Amino acid sequence: MDLQNLQLGIIGGGAMAENILKGVLSAGFVSEDRLTVSDCHAQRLTYLKETFRVPTTLDNHELVKTSDTILIAVKPQNMKGLLKDINQVVDDKKLILSIAAGITCQTISEGLSGKGRIIRIMPNIAAKVLESASALCLGPAASPEDLETAKQLFEAIGKTVVVDEELMDAVTGLSGSGPAYIFLIVDALADAGVRSGLSRRTALQLAAQTCFGAAQLILQTGELPAKLKDQVTSPGGTTIAGIHVLEKKAVRGAIMDAVEAAVKRSKELGT
């Protein structure tokens, strides 16, 4: 469906909903009058209405009835109650998008008695600066066209990939938890800079921009990171001396173990 013709309803007006609102409105993907947000806190809705000039409601039934695409953005623990509540008003014509971590398409489908076309999305916290790495998967009854609609919507808050649902735990361990790994690395780089005499502010700026620049190089050139690494390691130079220490300390293995542990935990939480 053309995004301009979408009537989008967002249930749960929290942090992630705000990021998505900011993204889709600033990209011009959906206009204010084709959007509604619901939340259980009137004060929160007042804030969203004043900030984004979008219609809001405390009534989830009203939102579902007046929207063709419903983005569910409540916490995973609130999903069961919400699905039970909106089940009465959902029908097969509704496209249901869920970002609730760990809640499977099957659980959503069961909660809606098999009604609706379902797509699950796993964004990450960088949605706040419209740089999310989001993965989408196709659920029951949803069509490739629905997936395209969802993909376009989430491109308003960053980059998207499509995976099979069985890989959503892998996504959670990599890009869902990933920003925290990078925060830790940037913090460590900044500490190292301070230890070598830089001010905290300068060290942090250099560390964060270095991560950002390196990521941009990979994304913009399409080069393999290993090849880029080889390009900056001159014989007998400083960088290979640093790389040698990282390899001796098995940093590569530690990062792989960290992602594996997060994937395992995601599977445990989902069962």
Using CB under 6 A, list all residues that contact ligand NAP.
11-17, 38-41, 44, 60, 73-76, 78, 81-82, 99-101, 122-125, 176
Q: How far is the CB of 57 from ligand NAP (least distance, A)?
A: 10
Of the pair 35, 73, the CB lying nearest ligand NAP is at: 73
Of the pair 89, 206, the CB lying nearest ligand NAP is at: 89
- DSSP states of 82-147: HHHHHHTT--TT-EEEE--TT--HHHHHHHTTT-SEEEEEE--GGGGGT-EEEEEEE-TT--HHHH
Of the pair 15, 184, the CB lying nearest ligand NAP is at: 15
Of the pair 12, 173, the CB lying nearest ligand NAP is at: 12
Of the pair 100, 207, the CB lying nearest ligand NAP is at: 100
Q: How far is the CB of 41 from ligand NAP (least distance, A)?
A: 6
Q: How far is the CB of 103 from ligand NAP (least distance, A)?
A: 7
Residue of this chain nearest to ligand NAP (CB atom)? 14
Q: How far is the CB of 262 from ligand NAP (least distance, A)?
A: 13
User: Which helix (H) or strand (E) is 238 found in, with range?
Assistant: helix 238-248
Integer CA distances (angstroms), 104 to 50, 75, 76, 160, in order = 34, 14, 10, 19
Of the pair 121, 147, the CB lying nearest ligand NAP is at: 121
| Residues 122, 159 contacting (CB under 8 angstroms) | no
| Residues 162, 151 contacting (CB under 8 angstroms) | yes
Which residue bears the tokens 């830089």?
A: 198
Strands (E) across the chain are located at: 8-11, 35-38, 56-57, 69-72, 95-98, 117-122, 132-138, 158-162
Q: How far is the CB of 265 from ligand NAP (least distance, A)?
A: 14
Q: How far is the CB of 189 from ligand NAP (least distance, A)?
A: 23
